[in-house]
Amino acid sequence: MEWWRWGAVLAAVVSLSLFRDFIFSSFGLSSVEEAKPEYDIVIGILSARENFEQRRALRATWVGYIQQHPDYSRRVLVKFIVGSKPCPVPPPDRLDPFTCQKLSLSETICAGEVVALSLASQNSFPSSQQQTGPVETHFTVHHPVVITKLGVLGGDIPAEGVRVRLVDSAAKEDLLSVNFTSDDPGLQTGGNTFKAVQNYVLPKGFQGTITVESLAADNELLVTFPLDQLQVNNKGGVLQLTKTVDFMPESGYLPPHTDVQQHTAATFMYRVFEPEFLEQAPQDLRAKDWTGKLGAEQQNLETEVERYGDILLVEEEEFYRNLPRKKLGFYKWVTENVRFNFTLKTDDDCFIDVDKIATGIETLKLREKSRVWWSRFRSGWAVEHHGKWAEQDYPSPVYPAFACGAGNMLSADLVSWLAKNAHELRPYQGEDVSLGIWLAALGPNLICDHSWQCEEGCTTEMYSSPELQPTQLMKMWSNLQRCGNACQCT
């Protein structure tokens, strides 16, 4: 074709493109925005890479119903939110079960008893002070240890005597307890006083407290030493001493003395449980097995992605503490790729009744409202400092209102704000708590509805039900199809 013909074709294409952009802009639309597919609801289901059975159960129940329904298949989009990268660290070798950080010890582990806390040498002996009890020392276990003795720092036992207790911080339960008196003072070792206890194994992830208190009265003075001036033997990292933040309950704000040096009066002896587990050869073997498992998992996941087309791979590593980032990845993808009215977030162990949700949207006239957050909310929820939901970063005794994880809906304006500001939003200990903190400044329109279930259970009015096994999901769906009642058919 002659050059002038090519030029004429190109000019025509450019003219059509400019005309199309002019028409779209006249209606307040861009050509890119107009090209996006449009849905009423985009459902994001948080799912782990390895949760193949859970996803299969959902496709066989309510997700499959949506995808095959003549109306919902056009109005509702469903995406499983999965991290694009696995955690490369085998679970037994992680610092804790909820992160991807490797437990790296700075010294070789040998058998034998270890004194966890001891006074420094006489050349740098820490200065003591007296304070009323109880005096607490907090710690976390990163590899199982066996507690063999409880003790008091220094060799002097008050005339009235003291009690030393080992407490499970999460359960608030005493595990071990010994009394020291002038008549039965225990044995001195290295400037500390100890008594033997029945050997007690503390598992990986255990969060404990060693407490010293007077046997006479709470206002009796105890001799304490600055924690940061003691010799700490954690065998390279199997234990970690932790500090807790005390809040002022009458005001809800941090006290002005949070930087005051922490003192302690307790110590204990322990030995590392199964030290051979931490040797390099077993670690290398576990890493090799884990790499093989991840390879098979990746192949299965790629097959699933290609076959079903309902998996959204967000650019995040797959582990529990990363759930807030996975959720933000979903909101960013939705905003950039589709036009929508609402998003619904749920988990891959949840039952959802989309028919009731569709009815609820109309009954509550949600399309006529802005900044809509429709769910069931937890208010005045205390910040936890132990266990799976331990919060290390949020500086308050309670969280802002946040939605239950089984199901919560946001209007497009809130989702767009989250997507736009995702790079500025700091993740906290869970995706639902994080969302509550992020949105608190916007003052969203909270529409609390008890049909969104927070705990396990079943009612005929429910929109969602959480924490279900695949077999339970299948049973509930079968009931709903047979008699219209997911809970049971008579």
SS3 track for 428-488? CCCHHHHHHHHHHCCCCEEEECCCECCCCCCCCCCCEECCCCHHHHHHHHHHHHHHCCCCC
Q: How much is the pLDDT for 50?
A: 97
Q: What is the pLDDT of residues 74-133, one digit of tens each?
A: 999 999 999 999 999 999 999 988 999 999 888 787 778 999 998 876 556 677 888 887
Distance, in Å, from the CA atom of 84 to the CA atom of 93, rounded to the nearest integer, reads 21
Question: Which structure tokens are listed for 121?
Answer: 């040498």
Q: How much is the pLDDT for 304?
A: 98
Question: What is the pLDDT of the chain when averaged over all its residues?
Answer: 87
Q: How much is the pLDDT for 121?
A: 64
Q: How much is the pLDDT for 421?
A: 96
With a CB cutoff of 8 Å and minimum separation 6, the contacts of 264 are 117, 135, 136, 137, 153, 210, 224, 225, 227, 230
Q: How many CA within 13 A on the CB side of residue 344?
A: 28
E strand spans, 2-134: 38-46, 76-86, 114-115, 117-118, 129-132
The strand order across the sheet containing 145-152 reads: 114-115, 266-272, 145-152, 192-202, 187-189
Q: How much is the pLDDT for 251?
A: 42
With a CB cutoff of 8 Å and minimum separation 6, the contacts of 171 are none
* β-pairing verdict for 408-411 and 339-347: antiparallel
Q: Tell me the residue length of the chain.
A: 490
Distance, in Å, from the CA atom of 412 to the CA atom of 423, rounded to the nearest integer, reads 19
Distance, in Å, from the CA atom of 176 to the CA atom of 146, rounded to the nearest integer, reads 12
The strand order across the sheet containing 339-347 reads: 311-318, 76-86, 38-46, 339-347, 408-411, 372-375, 445-448
Q: Global pTM?
A: 0.85
CB of 314 within 8 A of CB of 82?
yes
Distance, in Å, from the CA atom of 360 to the CA atom of 376, rounded to the nearest integer, reads 14
E strand spans, 273-338: 311-318
Point out the residues of the chain with pLDDT beneath 50: 1-30, 246-259
CB of 165 within 8 A of CB of 211?
yes
* β-pairing verdict for 38-46 and 76-86: parallel
Helices 431-440 and 323-337, axial angle in degrees (round to 10): 60
Instruction: Give CA angle at 177 (135, 167), nearest 5°.
Output: 60
E strand spans, 307-444: 311-318, 339-347, 351-352, 372-375, 377-378, 402-403, 408-411
